[in-house]
A and B are shown apart, each in its own frame.
Chain A
Amino acid sequence: MTTALGTFKDRARKALGDKTLKTALDRTTGNARVKRAAAVAAWPDFDRARAAAAAIKDHALAHFPHYLEQFERNALASGAKIHWARDAKEACAAVIDICRQAKAKTATRSKSMLGEEIGLPDALAEAGIRRVETDLAEHIIQLAGETPSHIIWPAAHRTREDVSKLFQQHHRDHLLLTEVEAMVASARHELRDDFFGAEVGISGANFLVAETGAICTITNEGNAELTTTPPRVHIVTAGIEKIVATTEHALQLTRLLVRSATGADLTQYTTFHCGPKRAGDRDGPEEFHIVLVDHGRTQMLEEMPDMLRCVRCGACLNHCVVYRKIGGHAYGGAYPGPMGAALTPIFDGLEPSRDLPHACTLNGMCKQVCPVDIPLPTLLRDWRAKSFRQGFESPALRRGLALWALVASKPRLYRAALALALPLLRRRGKDGWIAALPFTPGWTQSRDFPTPAKKTFLAQIESGEQA
């Protein structure tokens, strides 16, 4: 879990003032939007595929215990060991236990947002286990001592110019490299020994396939295979909502997930991992552990089941006007953007994260691009209603809304109030514009406000005017 400093507004303000961040976000999210749009345009049945994908997830969730038990049975039969974890603490403890039994000094790790969600990097550090991030972007932010700012591109906030400096400082050869290819080669060189020296490799999972007991990872760099194959022990950490009934379902979702994330047809690697190395296998881990993590998911099944469909593609981040301006770190949770604003109150509690569902224009773009049709604006509004009911909103706002609703529900009073207030407001106007509004300075900090009408529309209608 990230330990975010300051309030949401402080973090957002800092992000808005960061020009490098703006460059990085514009590049990453801009490319992603263009590529996704092209992929969707090239798929005539996209809407149908999207409905089918949502149905696949809904089906698995409607029979959650059935498919999870089926997965467990088949995974056990394949030789995997299953560890159920109710919360983040149990999940981390399970991983650390396995590492200790394996006498692991070093654990390689391929990118997993669930790992971030449960605070695994900190847990490994506390246990004295050296963590080596093998995804290129995760490697970058590990060098920078940061957390991911995007669920697909963890280093979305970093420009290639930043990365060049980081690598010069931290890589053994201390070379100043400016070409992307040379930087990638340098990272590969840096990670090589650890790929083969680590006792434990930790991965996430994009899908848990009930009918086979396999887990599926979707990656581009090949680092997941190098993280999960050479070490003696492979640990998978996965949220239980990753369950799907069949391999066919996993592949159908993959088509949507990858196009929504990067616009590509497929990632470079789509790997199904099923059990440990068998007699006669040339490679593979001797031990294969799967840590199945609840961490709020059964609660979500009751309160926010739509969100359990999320396949973590990041399309809602790339298309969110707020995310595009403030980046991921301002959100303060493991998951940023619209999906993060829906999830963080579950993980961190609503009171400390109440800004997230409010810092949204409810414009609906996230819902439009979601490959599994999650009604994100509705979920965020529901959090606002909950926050209001639970008394987390300021007394001033509560009183203001109640007073305004009272006046607006008494048309005569409302008319009289407007007849008083509008002329007062008009006095502040000059050449048709007001440069500083009372009560809502937020507007006129950066915008002008037009002078209100001399007489309201209704008042003009009343007196038979036609303007």
Chain B
Amino acid sequence: MEENANSGGARQAPPKVGLFATCLVDMLRPNIGFSALELLRAAGCDVEVPKAQTCCGQPAYNSGDDASAKRLARQVIEIFEDFDYLVAPSGSCAAMIRVHYPELFHADPAMRERAERLGAKTFELLSFLADVRGFRPRGVSCKASATYHDTCSGLRELGVKAQPRALLAAIEGLEMRPMEGEETCCGFGGTFCVKYSEISDAIVTEKAENIVATGADLLLGGDLGCLLNMAGKLRRAGASTRVFHAAELLAGRALHAIGEEKP
């Protein structure tokens, strides 16, 4: 893996990227963080992982607790506003910062301007690699079949659709299988899945059936929350589909799927 279309020609200083790992990746799956780090470096970025980062505040925002959401948004803005880019391996956290921070501070012109400035340079990892850095992985192979679930926030708020597929197409031996309802929500919805767990279960049950019906070895996506939901359901249903964040595959770090602990 490596190769960065932007590194050829006149040498430019590598962009300074602040990697926002997201709270779920931090706690549950550091491998996605390391994959993002490696991919961004391979794409010619000068990457830093700011130590003070915690959470983007999305759970509070979606629960209607704007005061708590603002407290955390302010913190993210302070930590990341001096970077050239903020990149997160999650469509929903990136959309929270890019789309919803400016809305959150709509009544506070000074903060809104800072939110808009940070929002404009905030990207979801896979679309950043493909669109901003013109990156394609090289020398990565994976002899398996995979299906891709388009996670909703990335798809509808940030237009992440073609980018992950273009990146994955560069993996040798990987056979992609389209899934029925690949753009249909998996039923995660943040706190929705625990507040309305029975409705969420009915939704993810249908999703798991569609995943299994592809016969693919792997399920890939770009948001850990959604992947946890689907992986947890597949596991409970006794399916053998292995679940990875697409970045793990792209970085050649897809050794242990979600729930397969490193020995």
Contacts and interface: CB of A to CB of B under 8 A. Distances in A.
B119 to A, nearest CB: 16
Interface string B43-67: 0000001011111010111111111
Interface residues of chain B: helix, strand, loop or mixed (majority)? helix
A450 B228 contact: yes
A447 interface: yes
Nearest to A365: B185
Contacts of A389: 64, 66
B166 interface: no
A460 B28 contact: no
Interface size range of chain B in the complex: 35 or more
A325 B30 contact: no
A388 B232 contact: no
Nearest to A440: B194
Contacts of B71: 405-406, 409
Interface residues of chain A: helix, strand, loop or mixed (majority)? helix
A396 interface: no
A362 B202 CA distance: 17
B197 A445 contact: yes
Interface stretch (A9-17, A54-62, A64-72): A9-17
A359 B196 contact: yes
Contacts of B196: 9, 12, 322, 358-359
A378 B54 CA distance: 25
B108 interface: no
Interface string B225-237: 0001101110110
Contacts of A443: 193-194, 197, 232
B153 interface: yes
Nearest to B183: A365
Interface string A359-393: 11111110110000000001001011111110001
B68 A401 contact: yes
Interface residues of A, number: 67
Interface string A437-467: 0001011111111111101111011100011
Contact of B27 (A326, A383, A387, A456): A456
Interface stretch (B120-128, B135-143, B168-176, B253-261): B253-261
B118 interface: no
A184 interface: no
A397 interface: yes
Nearest to B156: A364
Contact of B198 (A12, A321, A432): A12
A411 interface: yes
Contact of A467 (B30, B64, B188): B30
A388 B198 contact: no
Select the residue from A402, A405, A422 with max chain B CB neighbours within 10 A: A405
Interface of A: 9, 12-13, 16, 321-322, 325-326, 358-365, 367-368, 378, 381, 383-389, 393, 397-398, 401-402, 404-406, 408-409, 411, 414, 418, 422, 429, 431-433, 440, 442-453, 455-458, 460-462, 466-467
26 contacts: A9-B198, A321-B203, A322-B196, A325-B202, A326-B202, A358-B196, A359-B199, A360-B189, A363-B185, A365-B156, A383-B64, A388-B64, A393-B63, A398-B65, A404-B60, A406-B71, A408-B75, A411-B53, A411-B54, A446-B204, A447-B232, A447-B236, A448-B236, A450-B29, A453-B28, A460-B34
Given A361-B203, A411-B53, A461-B49, 5 more contacts: A402-B65, A405-B67, A443-B232, A448-B235, A450-B228
Listed from nearest, the 7 A-B pairs whose CB atoms lie closest are: A361-B189, A447-B232, A442-B197, A405-B68, A384-B64, A388-B64, A442-B194
